[in-house]
C-alpha cells in the first residue's frame, strides 16, 4: 500500500501527534542503549520544544493530525527519521526514506549522512538494506546541555544520484 502514502509538509494540526511520535520513537530506539539519565531528560515536553526548531525542515507521512512518520533534514544530514510501530513492516518507512533522499538530492546533497545509536540493529539493518553504508563509529554529545554524557553512534553515508 505504499503508493497511497502521502508525504507532505507538516501542518499545525500535526504538532501534538508529531511530538508524541518523536518521543515514543526515540525512546523505543534508544531504550537500553543510552544512559538512563539521558532517557529521563527526553520528556514529551522536550520533543514538543524541539519540534518548533525542526518543523521547517520536516516532511510528514500520513493524514492530518495522525502522522505515521516523519524525517527532518539538517544540511547534509538526515537528522531525524521515525515511523510509528503501526507503520513498520508495511513499506511506509521505505517510501519515507526515498522521499528524504530525493529531497536531499534536490537540495544538491549527493553524499548525505546519518547517525544511528550503536546497538539499534533494527534501524541499522533498515538503512543498510536501502544502500546506506556504515562508515565509522563515532561519539556524539546529545543536545540540551546534558554535560558529560556521550552516545556512541554508527555513522552512515550514501551516495545519491
Residues with Cβ within 8 Å of residue 3, at least 6 apart in sequence: none
d(CA 159, CA 132): 8
How would you classify the pairing of strands 58-61 and 69-74? antiparallel
Domain that holds residue 69: 2-157
d(CA 110, CA 26): 27
Output the pLDDT for position 136. 97
Where residue 128 sits, what CATH number does that domain have? 3.40.630.30
Give the total number of structural domains in the chain: 1
Output the pLDDT for position 1. 42
Dmax of the chain from CA atoms?
45
pLDDT tens-digit readout, 103-152: 999 999 999 999 999 999 999 999 999 999 999 999 988 866 567 788 99
E-strand ranges in 36-105 read 58-61, 69-74, 77-83
pLDDT tens-digit readout, 16-73: 999 999 999 999 999 999 999 899 989 999 999 999 989 999 999 999 999 999 999 9
Amino acid at each position: 500500500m505504499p503508493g497511497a502514502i502521502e508525504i507532505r509538509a507538516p501542518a499545525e494540526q500535526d504538532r501534538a501527534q508529531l511530538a508524541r511520535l518523536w518521543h515514543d520513537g526515540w525512546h523505543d530506539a534508544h531504550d537500553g542503549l543510552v544512559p538512563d539519565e539521558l532517557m529521563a531528560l527526553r520528556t514529551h515536553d522536550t520533543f514538543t520544544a524541539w519540534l518548533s526548531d525542526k518543523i521547517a525542515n520536516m516532511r510528514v507521512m500520513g493524514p492530518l493530525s495522525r502522522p505515521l512518520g516523519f524525517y527532518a533534514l539538517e544540511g547534509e544530514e538526515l537528522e531525524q527519521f521515525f515511523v510509528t510501530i503501526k507503520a513498520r513492516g508495511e513499506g511506509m518507512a521505505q517510501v519515507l526514506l526515498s522521499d528524504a533522499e530525493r529531497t536531499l538530492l534536490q537540495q544538491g546533497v549527493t553524499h548525505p549522512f546519518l547517525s544511528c545509536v550503536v546497538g539499534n540493529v533494527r534501524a541499522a539493518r533498515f538503512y543498510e538494506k536501502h544502500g546506506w553504508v556504515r562508515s565509522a563509529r563515532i561519539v556524539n554529545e546529545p543536545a540540551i546541555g546534558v554535560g558529560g554524557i556521550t552516545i556512541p553512534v554508527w555513522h552512515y553515508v550514501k551516495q545519491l544520484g
